[in-house]
Each structure stands twice: as structure tokens, then as C-alpha cells.
């Protein structure tokens, strides 16, 4: 990963992002919160690091080409672990100071006024608490979304206890004014008191069940969190597979595995887990990115999907079971058309610019293979 991150130039980056956003749209995502920390890309001509503004610009251009709604979340990343200096290979991620990071945010807001800009803290291990406090205090009067990775794996919890004398979510709740502007990504490993405090705070939780399963991270206590009034949405994180239907399916099934019961993620009076999860994801996703999405009503963006009526999950039109059939029997292959802000971006399951984007992505991968930045074989 580090070899690839250190070898990417601006052209590589923009083409990879375009392919990703295209695939997200074709799968049924219409918005993306880009947790962006590969800031300093190579200048292809001189092999020098470029201004971080340019990598953000490449992401914005990718979103404009594909048509996906973008909330750009530049990430503050400063150290290699709790009380550890950054490693040499982490150089593309780093900002030397909070002021330097805030300058990037200011430049993005001024340069791209039509793009939703937020901010993110990579994790408690990657930013010193004093720097976190400086950043949050500096953004106090800005109504920006603020995201952070937290409590993803047991080792992170153990390290946090060792260096900060608190569990990760516990530390956050005790040291910051956590509110609906915050989104905590993963938050998998929490004590009961952390879970209750987080639900009461109004913060959004972004779960990435495919990635969390792929990495063996663990299972988020979604049933208890929802019963306590917590808010959850989904993300694609590592992009090992992009499929919002599968993310929701795996989220519900993980709770059934854990509790040995069926139909767990429900919000009474809605007794359908599929519909409950869909409503949660739309509502909380929009709040997490501070975008006017997630519903079709005056003032909201006209972002919507057209599913294939011939798919086996859609043949019967009984409305009380539609979401369950789509989520538990369907997949991204059901998505036939996608509209963002009323403009069609996917037609007959293919993005309107698929041929161009796929060709450029394929050429980029070939180039990276030839440069030795992607391994072609694994023993």
C-alpha cells in the first residue's frame, strides 16, 4: 500500500477516483464522503511532491466527470501511531501543523465554492490530542461535518488505554463536544457506557460491514445502539466490493449471527429490517455529509435509482416487503438507472461515460504494473 501511495501521480489518482465514483453510481450510491488523506502526490515530470490542493482538485474533477455528489473531507494525519513519529513512507499523508491543514481547508472553500467541504481526523493514533483540540476549536464557528476513524480493532483500543488511559470513544466523549456534526467511522469496539454516551450525543456512526468483515474487525452492536436512539449510515471504505445492498444485508445478518435472533435492525412501528435500515441510511447519510439528499421532497436533491422491474426481487409489487426483497435477495445488479440532481448518470446499468473512464483506468493500472507499483503475482 505504501509503495503504491508513494508512487501515484496526479493523473493516476484522478483516473482511479473516476473509476471508483463511476462504480459507486452504477451500484446505487449517489453520494460519497471522501475521507481524503493521500494529499501529496508526485509530479509526473519531476518526481517532486505537489501542493495538497491539487489532489483535492483531482477528486472534485472526478466527481464532476461522473456526476456523483461529493462531500470532500481532507484528513489531518500527523503521526505514525500513539506517541510515534510518522514513518518515511507516510509522507504523502502528512500535514506538519494544524495551521497548514486549516490553510488547505480555506483554499478549498474559496477555490471550489460549489463543493461541500468538511474535515476529518484520521484517528486518535494519528493525531495528538492537543492538535485535535486545536483543530476542533479552530472550526468551532464553522458548520462543517467532522469525521474520524475510531475503535476499529481491539489493538487500537488497547493502545489507546495504554497511552491515553481511556478507551477511544470514552476519550472522545470526555474531551470533545460530540454532536450531530460528528461522524465516527466503525466504532466497532465499545464498552456499554461508550455506546450509550455515543447514542445520546447525536453523533452519526458510519458502518462499513463489507470492509469490517473482510479485515476481521468485528461486529458493531447495531441493535443496542439503535434501541438507544443512535443513528447509523453506511460507507464503502476499502472498496473491496461496492454494493450498498450488500452492506445493509451484511449489517443485519451480522446482528442475527451475534444475537441468534431474526429481524434485528428494526425501528418500530416499522417491522421490516430492510426498510428500517434503508430509512436510517438515507437519513443519517445525509446528516453525516450535510447534503440535502435522502428524500424526494421540496428542497432536496433529485437523487434516485430506477431498479430493474424484471429482477426476481421486484416482480411482486407488495410494498410492505419491497425493501426486504431488494436487500436480502438483490444486489447492485438490480440498479438499472441512476439520477443525480435530476440528471441521468447511469443508463441500462452502465455509466454514461463508462467507455472512456474504464479505458483510462485500465491504462492506469497497466502503467502501475509496469512501474512495479502493483504486484502481478502473489505466492
Query: Which residues are the active-site residues?
Result: 186, 237
Residue 74 · residue 122 · CB < 8 Å: no
Q: Identify which of 169, 270, 181 has the alpha carbon closest to the alpha carbon of residue 221.
A: 169
- What is the C-alpha to C-alpha distance for residues 225 and 264, in angstroms, rounded to an integer? 12
Q: Which helix (H) or strand (E) holds 206?
A: strand 204-207
CB 85 within 8 A of CB 43: no
Cis peptide before 269 (omega within 30 of 0): yes
| Nearest CA-CA partner of 120 in 34, 249, 227, 229 | 34
- Would you give the DSSP letter of residue 48? P
| Region label for 165, one of left (φ > 0), alpha (ψ between -120 and 50) or beta (otherwise) | left
What gap in Å lies between CA 340 and CA 31, rounded to an integer? 9
C-alpha grid cell for residue 12?
A: 493516476
Report helix, strand or coil for 287. helix
Distance of CA 33 to the CA centre of its chain: 5
Amino acid at each position: 500500500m505504501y509503495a503504491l501511495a508513494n508512487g501515484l501521480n496526479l493523473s493516476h489518482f484522478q483516473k482511479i477516483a473516476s473509476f471508483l465514483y463511476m462504480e459507486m453510481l452504477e451500484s446505487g450510491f449517489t453520494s460519497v464522503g471522501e475521507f481524503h488523506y493521500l494529499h501529496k502526490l508526485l509530479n509526473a515530470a519531476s518526481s517532486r511532491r505537489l501542493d495538497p490542493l491539487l489532489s483535492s482538485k483531482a477528486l472534485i474533477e472526478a466527481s464532476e466527470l461522473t456526476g456523483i455528489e461529493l462531500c470532500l473531507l481532507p484528513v489531518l494525519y500527523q503521526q505514525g501511531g500513539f506517541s510515534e513519529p510518522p514513518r518515511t513512507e507516510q509522507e504523502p499523508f502528512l500535514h506538519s501543523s494544524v495551521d497548514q491543514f486549516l490553510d488547505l481547508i480555506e483554499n478549498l472553500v474559496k477555490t471550489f465554492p460549489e463543493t461541500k467541504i468538511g474535515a476529518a481526523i484520521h484517528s486518535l493514533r494519528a493525531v495528538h490530542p492537543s492538535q485535535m483540540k486545536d483543530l476542533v476549536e479552530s472550526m468551532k464557528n464553522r458548520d462543517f461535518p467532522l469525521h474520524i476513524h475510531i475503535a476499529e480493532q481491539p489493538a487500537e483500543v488497547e493502545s489507546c488505554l495504554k497511552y491515553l488511559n481511556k478507551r477511544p470513544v470514552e476519550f472522545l466523549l470526555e474531551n470533545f463536544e460530540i454532536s450531530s456534526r460528528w461522524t465516527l467511522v466503525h466504532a466497532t469496539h465499545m464498552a456499554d457506557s461508550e455506546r450509550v454516551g455515543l447514542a445520546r450525543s447525536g453523533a452519526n456512526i458510519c458502518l462499513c460491514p463489507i470492509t469490517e468483515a473482510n479485515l476481521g474487525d468485528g461486529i458493531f452492536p447495531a441493535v443496542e445502539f439503535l434501541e438507544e436512539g443512535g443513528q447509523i449510515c453506511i460507507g464503502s471504505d476499502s472498496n473491496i466490493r461496492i454494493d450498498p445492498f450488500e452492506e445493509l444485508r451484511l449489517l443485519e445478518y451480522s446482528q442475527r449471527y451475534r444475537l441468534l435472533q431474526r429481524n434485528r435492525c428494526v425501528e418500530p412501528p416499522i417491522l421490516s429490517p430492510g426498510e428500517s435500515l434503508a430509512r436510517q441510511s438515507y437519513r443519517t447519510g445525509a446528516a453525516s455529509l450535510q447534503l440535502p439528499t435522502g428524500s424526494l421532497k421540496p428542497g432536496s436533491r433529485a437523487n434516485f435509482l430506477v431498479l430493474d422491474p424484471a429482477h426476481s426481487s421486484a416482480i411482486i409489487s407488495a410494498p410492505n416487503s419491497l425493501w426486504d426483497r431488494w436487500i436480502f435477495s438483490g444486489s447492485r445488479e438490480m440498479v438499472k438507472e441512476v439520477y443525480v440532481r435530476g440528471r441521468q448518470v447511469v443508463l441500462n446499468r452502465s455509466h454514461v461515460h463508462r467507455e472512456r473512464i474504464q479505458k483510462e483506468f485500465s491504462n492506469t493500472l497497466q502503467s502501475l504494473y509496469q512501474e512495479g507499483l502493483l504486484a502481478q503475482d502473489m505466492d
